[in-house]
């Protein structure tokens, strides 16, 4: 009787059990960290008010469709779920954005584990991802970039699973995720270009012969098909929107500093050594040869976005896969050093993460008291928080003008908004004041038209007097946009006047095409 074989089987079973146990423990730690981050966002995301972009998405969520001028349908659909579950709750809406970023944090840690990292690398990869300034702000605002970020990170994780297992069935999951990505934000096309390059330029080209890859492509296109049909029905209006917005961005300099912002905002400056090590791993380190497609999945979008003068934050979701590889590289490098040097290296890493987290949270989470020195500093770094101030006061001002006129006018006046923040605010807060739904020429609002019957008197927001008088025979100043904090933002600085206008110069069907705008 051979007594060795049962022992070998037992040893194999024991090792398998131990690996499963370590995975379970690592996953548990990642979940706890993600829940802690989710709780932090839940406690802070109720500050200030809705951002103008959130107001637009909430309004689109009330008009569900397979497409919108400014974005595909996934984000408004999630917004509709938030409305059904929580009502118009600020923290409730942002919960889903925070959840997306918390899941991305878990995936970053799991990527490090799949790449051979032990617990230190797993935890550091997750935390390094979590403290990226763009990730922090994406957990504090409900925008499509929050969910776009998740799909990029999930594709990277699935690619690592594919390349590690050599199981082509993973292409189905990759295809489904890319389909969701296309239904969230069109710039994932840059990432798809990187994925294609990663397959063609590495030994992964063997998958081109696999029916599973092409099944994944078909699944991706099937998921995207409803939006594609919507675009066809609307003459690809989103391409016109994107072209207009890009031209504006280039003209006002919003696309400048693309490369500089990568280590500063997309990846926390204090994690720079980690993601540089990750890029080295994918392209140069022998251990990363199998996973080289992920290097191309970063490099190709980087080059394409820089060449096309894209906004810097479009590439933010590409950094977690670099951070994951980088933490594994550093962990394995420290393992070759003396115990004293290894402790020092890990200590420096923890200190960098703590400092990066403190700076990132101070600048990117909505926690600074309004009009404090801290607030003023944050407002010079970015304008995301000042654009959340004053919407209820704007609606109250409009409601006062409307109440004064509606008693005299027959029919009652309409409300014409120049931008989606104003239109979204009127439609969110207006019903409590008895206001009608706003009309606007911007983005998808233009597709919804001007109402029936068309208004002959309108309260006009977001227009200069000169522009308003192009469309109406008489316009009088009826109010001004203010907020109780005296915060200066787009509304108070650039178009604070509210006009009461009468007498359209031409019939509304003739005027309406001239109202169309993108923003």
Q: Is residue 440 part of a domain?
A: yes
Residues 235 and 350 in one domain: yes
Residues 457 and 339 in one domain: no
**pLDDT the model gives residue 183:** 98
Dihedral sign, Cα of residue 26, residue 27, residue 33, residue 36: negative
Residues 349 and 416 in one domain: no
Q: Is residue 375 part of a domain?
A: no
pLDDT digits (tens, 9 = 90+) for 179-231: 999 999 999 999 999 999 999 999 999 999 999 999 999 999 999 999 999 99
Q: Is residue 359 part of a domain?
A: yes
**Distances from the Cα of 73 to the Cα of 174, 356, 491, 500, angstroms:** 20, 34, 27, 35
Q: Which of 366, 355, 408 is nearest to 389 (CA)?
A: 366
Number of neighbouring beta carbons within 10 Å of residue 466: 8
For the chain, the domain total comes to 2
pLDDT digits (tens, 9 = 90+) for 283-300: 988 878 899 999 999 999
Residues 346 and 460 in one domain: no
Please say if the pLDDT value at position 9 is more than 70: no
**pLDDT the model gives residue 300:** 98
- pLDDT band at residue 461, thresholds of 50, 70 and 90? very high
Q: Is residue 379 part of a domain?
A: no
Residues 298 and 196 in one domain: yes
The CA distance from 454 to 449, in Å, is 9
Q: Is residue 14 part of a domain?
A: no
Percentage of the chain modeled with pLDDT above 90: 92
Residues 395 and 315 in one domain: no
Residues 202 and 116 in one domain: yes
Number of neighbouring beta carbons within 10 Å of residue 211: 10
> 235: Cβ–Cβ under 8 A, 6 or more apart, which residues?
none
What is the span of the domain harbouring residue 492? 389-515
The CA distance from 12 to 131, in Å, is 39
Q: Is residue 371 part of a domain?
A: no
The CA distance from 127 to 34, in Å, is 9
Please count the residues of the chain. 519
Residues 177 and 263 in one domain: yes
DSSP 263: I
């Amino acid at each position: 009787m051979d007594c060795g074989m049962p022992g070998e089987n037992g040893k194999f079973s024991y090792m398998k059990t131990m690996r499963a146990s370590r995975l379970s423990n690592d996953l548990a730690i990642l979940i706890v960290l993600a829940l802690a981050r989710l709780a932090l966002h839940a406690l802070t995301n109720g500050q200030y008010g809705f951002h103008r972009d959130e107001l637009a998405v909430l309004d689109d969520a009330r008009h569900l469709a397979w497409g919108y001028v400014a974005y595909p349908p996934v984000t408004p659909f999630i917004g509709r779920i938030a409305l059904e579950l929580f009502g118009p709750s600020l923290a409730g809406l942002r919960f889903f954005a925070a959840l997306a970023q918390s899941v991305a944090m878990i995936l970053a840690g799991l990527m490090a584990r799949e790449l051979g990292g032990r617990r230190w690398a797993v935890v550091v990869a997750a935390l390094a991802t979590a403290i990226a300034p763009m990730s922090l702000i994406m957990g504090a605002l409900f925008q499509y970039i929050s969910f776009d970020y998740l799909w990029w990170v999930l594709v990277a994780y699935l690619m690592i699973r594919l390349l590690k297992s050599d199981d082509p069935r993973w292409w189905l999951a990759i295809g489904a995720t890319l389909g969701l990505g296309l239904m969230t934000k069109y710039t994932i096309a840059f990432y798809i270009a990187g994925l294609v390059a990663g397959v063609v330029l590495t030994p992964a080209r063997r998958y081109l012969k696999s029916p599973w890859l092409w099944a994944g492509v078909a699944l991706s296109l099937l998921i995207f098909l409803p939006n594609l049909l919507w675009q066809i029905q609307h003459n690809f209006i989103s391409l016109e929107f994107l072209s207009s917005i890009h031209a504006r961005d280039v003209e006002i300099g919003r696309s400048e500093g693309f490369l500089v912002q990568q280590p500063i905002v997309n990846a926390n400056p204090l994690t720079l050594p980690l993601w540089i090590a990750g890029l080295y791993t994918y392209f140069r380190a022998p251990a990363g040869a199998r996973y080289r497609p992920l290097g191309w999945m970063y490099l190709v979008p980087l080059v394409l976005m820089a060449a096309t003068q894209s906004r810097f934050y479009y590439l933010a979701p590409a950094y977690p896969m670099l951070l994951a590889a980088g933490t594994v590289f550093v962990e394995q490098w420290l393992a070759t050093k003396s115990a004293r040097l290894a402790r020092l290296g890990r200590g420096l890493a923890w200190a960098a993460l703590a400092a990066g987290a403190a700076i990132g949270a101070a600048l990117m989470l909505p926690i600074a008291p309004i009009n404090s020195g801290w607030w003023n500093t944050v407002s010079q770094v970015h304008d995301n928080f000042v654009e959340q101030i004053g919407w209820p006061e704007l609606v109250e001002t409009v409601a006062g003008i409307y109440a004064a006129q509606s008693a005299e006018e027959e029919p009652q006046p309409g409300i014409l908004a120049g931008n989606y923040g104003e239109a979204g605010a009127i439609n969110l807060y207006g019903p409590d004041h008895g206001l009608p739904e706003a009309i606007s020429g911007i983005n998808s609002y233009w597709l919804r038209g001007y109402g029936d019957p068309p208004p002959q008197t309108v309260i006009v927001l977001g227009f200069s007097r000169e522009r308003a008088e192009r469309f109406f025979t008489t316009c009088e100043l009826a109010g001004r946009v203010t907020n109780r904090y005296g915060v200066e933002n787009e509304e108070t600085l650039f178009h604070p006047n509210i006009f009461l206008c009468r007498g359209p110069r031409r019939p509304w069907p003739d005027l309406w095409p001239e109202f169309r705008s993108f923003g």
